[in-house]
Amino acid sequence: MAMSDLQNISQRSAGESFHIDTIVRKLHEARRTWRTSTQRVQEAGAREFPARAALEIVLNHLSGALFPMRLGPPDLRQESEDIYVAHALDVALNALLGQVYLELSLSTRKDREADFSRRHQHARELVGLFAQKLPEIRRLVDTDVLAAYRGDPAAGSVDEVLLCYPGVRAVLVHRIAHELYQLGLPLISRMLAELSHEQTGIDIHPGARIGESFFIDHGTGVVIGETTVIGSRVRLYQAVTLGAKRFKAGAGGELVKGEPRHPRVEDDVVIYAGATVLGLITIGRGAVIGGNVWVTQDVPAGAHVTQAHVQQATKS
């Protein structure tokens, strides 16, 4: 039997056996019900939300522009670096511009008389501000790469660290996403963070503030919450959680958004694998948190917290 015959049978069988026309109609009704109930207003024929595929393009080209000879195209030569970087930035920033416009449109979708030209201008201004931050992002990621190289005896070179370490990749994406978050683009920045989360197993909310020379060793299972503040030269190991202990609720029971609820980790802190640090507490400068420890109270500067100390404190 020819391949075309098999395809025809498959298509006919799917349509007849699975009632696809009926399912399509019901899905259409479900979308219409949702849009009516949520009072969605959408430009005719236009996409409403930023697209993950477009943001992947942005991320790939920005990574290449920041580190052309390591994260750029395989056939790139040093004498062509600036030409490639200019091209990569042109592609990335113009792609980002379209996604920023979509996010800005979401905030005014109930306003049918919105000034589209003003929205485009605002999007262009935000992307321009972000572009000016790229040299500082590169500087910060350089400190992260050096911290990883110096902090891991298994690291053979800074190039290996940048090319291979998921913790470094996650921090690179966070540096990008955080700047967009600071510019008032929470959806795009969160989508970028989740793309990184899928790739690395490391979940960093773009709102978290992280100082220079930050190193996540191994990394899988690390969670860093939205209002976390991390100082300089901090090192985390796999499965560390910097999370919230409780969530404040409003009068109607809805969760209060945006209030500080995550730890503050000061400079030169080390937190070992499996530790859970919860709530609006401070881990003092130079403190060491041992593996699999549960911490919900302030830790003084220079302290060493281990399972044995926690167990003794509980008995006391």
Give residue 112's pLDDT.
Answer: 46
Domains present along the chain, CATH in parentheses: 50-201 (1.10.3130.10), 208-248+257-316 (2.160.10.10)
**Lowest-pLDDT range of 176-185, 209-218, 241-250, 269-278:** 241-250
Q: What is the pLDDT of residues 75-101, one digit of tens each?
A: 999 999 999 999 999 999 999 999 999
Residue 301 has pLDDT above 60, yes or no: yes
CA distances from 285 to 87, 215, 231, 233, 298 (A): 43, 16, 9, 10, 11
Q: Please state the rounded mean pLDDT for residues 245-254.
A: 76
pLDDT score of 27:
93
Q: Name the average pLDDT for the chain.
A: 90
Higher pLDDT, 116 or 50: 50
Identify the pLDDT of residue 35. Answer: 81
Q: What is the mean pLDDT of residues 247-260?
A: 77
- Confidence band, pLDDT 50/70/90 cuts, at residue 246: confident
Contact 268, 286 (CB under 8 A): yes
Backbone φ, ψ for residue 82 (5° rounding): -65, -35
pLDDT of 36 reads: 86
Q: How far apart are CA 95 and CA 92, in angstroms?
A: 5
